[in-house]
Amino acid sequence: MPVPEPARGLRVALLGCGVVGTEVARMLLEQGTDLAARAGAPLELAGIAVRDASRPRDAAIPRELLTEDAESLVDGADIVVEVMGGTEPARTLLLRAIEGGAAVVTANKALLAADGPTLYKAADSAGVDIYYEAAVAGAIPIVRPVRESLAGDHVRRVLGIVNGTTNYVLDQMATSGLDLDAAVRQAQELGYAEADPTADVEGYDAAAKAAILASLAFHTRVSADDVAREGITGVTSDDVAWAARTGHAVKLLAIAEQTGEGVAVRVHPALVPLEHPLAGVKGAFNAIFVEADAAGPLMFYGQGAGGRPTASAVLGDVVSAARHRVLGGKGPQESTYAARPLLPADAAVTRYQVRLLVADLPGVLAQVAGVVGDHGVSIDTVRQTGPSEGTAELLLTTHAAREASLAATIAAVRTLEPVREITSVLRVEG
C-alpha cells in the first residue's frame, strides 16, 4: 500500500507582536508538533510584521522573524494572523491577504465592528476563510457556538460582561469600597487597563463586541455605530452600595435582543440580581449569557483578555483554517439573510431603579407616584431613608417600561417642587 505524501507546510504570517502577538508566536514555535498533527500539516511561522524591528522583544521571539515589510510577508502567506489592532493598516493588509488567497484570522473587534462586511464579502468572493473567535471575549468560545452550534436554534437574547477592565473596576468598588477613579488606577497598575482607559470605561470596547455578537445571533448586520452606548464613568460608590442593599451587583452589560419589532443592541451599566449567574462574575473575567428557544439559557465564562487566553482562541482559528487548506472546504461565512430592522435606543424595554432626594413633607411620595403613573410607568417597589436635614431619599424600582417613557418620566419628576435631586437612574437587567 503506497505511503501518502506528507502535507506541505503552511506559512503563517503574524501581524503584530504585542502582548497577544508574542504569545501567538510563542505557542506556534513551542507547540509545532501538536499543532501540525491537529491541522494536518506543519505550521511554519514565516515572519512577524512590526512597526519597529529594532525594539526590544521577549526572548522567545527570534529576531530573524521580525520584519517591517508587512506587505511582502502577507504576499507569501497561506494564513495571515492579525493582532495589531486599529482600523488601518490592518484593513488594507487583511484585504491584501484575502485577495492573494490567504485565510485570515483576526482578533480585531474594532475593525470587524466598523467594517466587517467588507472583509466578509472579500473572503466570500475569494473563497477563503475568515475567523475571529478572539475578537469578542478572549479565550471564551462564543463566536463559534453562536454562529455554528446554535445555527439550528432561535436566539432571543445575548447578555454579557465582555470587558474585563470595567468588570474589575466595578468589582473593586463593590468589594473594596474604592471610588471609580481609584479603582481605575488600580486596574492600570495591574495591567488590566491602558494608560488611556477611555475605550473601556466609556463602553467603546464593549459596544464593538456587542455589534459582532448581535450580527451573528440575529443574522443581521450591526455595526458599532448602531449600538446605544453608555460607559461606567457616571457610576458612583453610592450606586454600588445601594445595589448591594437591594440585592444587586452593578455590571457593564452588552445586551442584544430580538423582538417582534426588530433588533436592539445596547451597552450600559446595569443592576443584576445577585441570584443571576452574571452577578457572580468577579475580577477581570468575562461571561456571556445566551437565551435560545430550544437550547434555553446558556452561560459562557472565562478569561476575556490577556496574552495567552487570547492566543488560545487565535490558534484554535488557525488550526481550523489550516485544516480547510489541507482537506478542502471552507468555514462559515457572514449570514445576513434576516436583515431585521435596528431599533433606536429609546425603544429598549427594561426595569429601572431611580434614586432621588425629596423634601421630607407629607404627600411627596404620592406626587412622585402620580407623575410616574401619568407617563405609563408602573412602580414595583419603594424604599425611603431619612429624614436628614429636612430631606428624605426615595428609591423607586419600576416594572418594565420603554426607555422613552422613562426619560419623559424623569424629566417630569425633576420639575416637581419637592424634588431636590435625582441622584441615580440605573437599569435592572437579568
Specify whether the CB–CB gap between 428 and 379 falls below 8 A: no
CA 243 – CA 36 distance, rounded (Å): 51
Specify whether the CB–CB gap between 209 and 137 falls below 8 A: yes
Q: Is 109 a catalytic residue?
A: no
CA 10 – CA 48 distance, rounded (Å): 15
372-400 burial: b if 16+ Cβ within 10 Å, else e:
beebebeeeeeeeeeeeeebbbbbbbbee
**Per the residue annotation, which of 109, 121, 209, 282 is the catalytic one?**
209
Radius of gyration for the alpha carbons in the chain, expressed in angstroms and rounded: 25
CA 147 – CA 334 distance, rounded (Å): 9
DSSP secondary structure string for all residues of 92-108? HHHHHHHHTT-EEEE--
**176, burial (CB in 10 Å: exposed 0-12, middle 13-18, buried 19+):** exposed
Distances from the Cα of 230 to the Cα of 21, 41, 85, 269, angstroms: 30, 46, 23, 7
CA 350 – CA 406 distance, rounded (Å): 10
Distance of CA 79 to the CA centre of its chain: 25
CA dihedral 400, 402, 406, 409 (to 10 degrees): -100
> Which residue in the block uniquely carries the three cell numbers 502535507?
7
The phi and psi torsions of 346 (rounded to 5 degrees) equal: -75, 0
Q: Which residues are catalytic?
A: 209
